[in-house]
Amino acid sequence: MPEAIVALGESKRIVGRLRFETDGRRQHSQFEYAPEWLADPDRFALSPALPLRTGGFFSSGRDDKTSALSGCFADVAPDAWGRALMRKALSGGLTEFDYLVLADDRTRQGALRFLGEDLEPLSALNPPIPRLVELEELRALAHRFESDPEGAEAEARRLAGAGGSLGGARPKANITEADGHLWIAKFTSVQDTKPVERAEIATLALARRCGLRVPDARLELKASDSPIALIRRFDRRGATRIPYISARTALDWSREEGAFYTDIGDVIRRISAKPIDDLHELWRRIVFTILVSNKDDHLQNHGFLYAGSDRWRLSPAFDINPSPSRQRVLETGIVEGGSFEASFDIALDACEFFELTRDDAKLQAREMAELIAANWKQALLDEGMSASEARSYEDAFVHVEAERAQAG
């Protein structure tokens, strides 16, 4: 039965032990806190589903329907892009446990680390983290792997160390700047029909202007046909790794159907170090998502960073992708039991749940809507879109819900 010592941060504080077993098509895992962690005055639960107590916590998965790993571990395992790289680089046949522990330890999301009995990382992919000056080479490698994954073993090995630990399905890699800070480099996909990276960076800039908390972001190789979006990693503070869990993990959500923002609000009330601030921020993100027709507001794209004293904070917003050609629906509904319609009226009616008065909510929504209406096109042009490309995004920003928000 393979197993790993679970530790935190650069100091490798031992938290517990994770064991894994596979039986045909079903995979199982068991996590147990270490006695020294339970006795540590600075201890905290890795997630609400793993409260601080003795004894094991069990998870079971089958046929990719459910994860064999508890949420906080599934959060830091690679997703579709990273798994494809790892399968090619490590010759396939990987279990959930393999994907988790063999990915690059240095760039893994959050603060969890998976060690052997010698207290060294179990990761099998540890090439040097690429530097900013290597972006063009990485872009070429990613394009070659996307175009011919079966024949791109060398490319997979080079990319797996840089991108194997990352979530999501699109091509990406970790890079480091001269100051040592990690950034995520998002590459244009060979399948793209729209300038996705330009749109994401422009929309993050709009979000920042609307007062939302977002990571630093910029576009590199802007003049090329395949620019690269750089997003600063917010789970690092210098050399310090900051624990992170997704909203899916915070909710302990395992069902296939979507959850609701009021569910996230309930979690904020229970675990946030500043619940009122985070509730206000979450409501503003709902409205922003509606205003820019964000297509990626599922539970994995909301998260929490550990703030100390067994409390968490809503992480900066990320993966905000405007979509001009979609039904006006959300991945995460606004009010429990309601529809998934991307409706400003529903968001406004829910404002008091998020500790906002109706008048305050109207004012904040109107200010955001007016700012976006006045600046969306220029924001896209500033990131190198042509006038015709910017016009192709118009329906994402100019629509009846935006008009309702402006009208208050």
| Predicted confidence (pLDDT) per residue in 176-189, tens digit | 998 999 999 999 99
Per-residue pLDDT averaged across 340-351, rounded? 98
User: Is residue 336 very low, low, confident or very high in pLDDT (cuts 50, 70, 90)?
Assistant: very high
Architecture of domain 241-407: Orthogonal Bundle (1.10)
Query: What's the pLDDT tens digit per position in 208-226?
Result: 999 999 999 999 999 999 9
Instruction: Please tell me which residue, 129 or 200, carries the higher pLDDT value.
Output: 200
Q: CB–CB of 305/344 below 8 Å?
A: no
Q: Please determine, for residue 339, whether its predicted confidence score (pLDDT) is greater than 80.
A: yes
Per-residue pLDDT averaged across 354-374, rounded? 99
Task: Report pLDDT for 22.
Answer: 87
Task: Report pLDDT for 380.
Answer: 99
Q: Please determine, for residue 65, whether its predicted confidence score (pLDDT) is greater than 80.
A: no
Average pLDDT score over the chain: 94
Q: What's the distance, CA 303 to chain centroid?
A: 7
* 3-class state of residue 311 by DSSP: strand
* 3-class state of residue 154 by DSSP: helix
Task: Report pLDDT for 385.
Answer: 98
Task: Report pLDDT for 286.
Answer: 99
Q: Please determine, for residue 345, whether its predicted confidence score (pLDDT) is greater than 90.
A: yes
* 3-class state of residue 274 by DSSP: coil
Q: Which helix (H) or strand (E) holds 283?
A: helix 275-292
Q: If you classify domain 132-236 with CATH, what class do you get?
A: alpha beta
Q: Please determine, for residue 66, whether its predicted confidence score (pLDDT) is greater than 80.
A: no
Q: Please determine, for residue 136, whether its predicted confidence score (pLDDT) is greater than 80.
A: yes
Q: CB–CB of 123/102 below 8 Å?
A: yes
> Of 278, 258, 255, which Cα lies nearest the Cα of 267?
278
User: Is residue 128 very low, low, confident or very high in pLDDT (cuts 50, 70, 90)?
Assistant: confident
Q: Please determine, for residue 245, whether its predicted confidence score (pLDDT) is greater than 90.
A: yes
The top-scoring range by mean pLDDT among 79-88, 130-139, 345-354 is 345-354
* Phi and psi torsions of 348, nearest 5°: -65, -45
Strand partners, 129: none
Q: Which helix (H) or strand (E) holds 210?
A: none
The top-scoring range by mean pLDDT among 20-24, 43-47, 144-148, 236-240 is 43-47
Given the DSSP bridges, would you call strands 13-23 and 56-62 parallel, antiparallel or unpaired?
unpaired
| Class of residue 267 by CB neighbours under 10 A (exposed 0-12, middle 13-18, buried 19+) | buried
User: Is residue 23 very low, low, confident or very high in pLDDT (cuts 50, 70, 90)?
Assistant: confident
Task: Report pLDDT for 93.
Answer: 84
Q: CB–CB of 55/32 below 8 Å?
A: yes
First-to-final CA distance of the chain: 60
User: Is residue 160 very low, low, confident or very high in pLDDT (cuts 50, 70, 90)?
Assistant: confident
DSSP codes joined into one string, 365-408:
HHHHHHHHHHHHHHHHHHTT--HHHHHHTHHHHSSHHHHHHHH-
* 3-class state of residue 25 by DSSP: coil
Task: Report pLDDT for 41.
Answer: 97
Task: Report pLDDT for 164.
Answer: 66
User: Is residue 63 very low, low, confident or very high in pLDDT (cuts 50, 70, 90)?
Assistant: low
Q: Which of 139-153, 178-192, 282-296 has the lowest mean pLDDT?
A: 139-153
Q: Which of 54-63, 313-322, 342-351, 365-374 has the lowest mean pLDDT?
A: 54-63
Q: Which two tokens stand for residue 5?
A: 């010592």
Per-residue pLDDT averaged across 240-248, rounded? 98
Q: What is d(CA 291, CA 342) in angstroms, rounded to the nearest whole number? A: 9
Which pTM does this prediction carry? 0.95
Here the contacts of 6-11 (C-beta below 8 Å, separation 24 or greater) are: 6/31, 6/112, 6/113, 6/114, 6/115, 7/112, 7/113, 7/114, 7/115, 7/119, 8/111, 8/112, 8/113, 8/241, 8/243, 9/111, 9/113, 9/240, 9/241, 10/239, 10/240, 10/241
Q: CB–CB of 332/259 below 8 Å?
A: yes
What percent of the chain stands above pLDDT 90? 81
**For the chain, which residues make up each domain, given as ranges?**
3-76+89-115, 132-236, 241-407
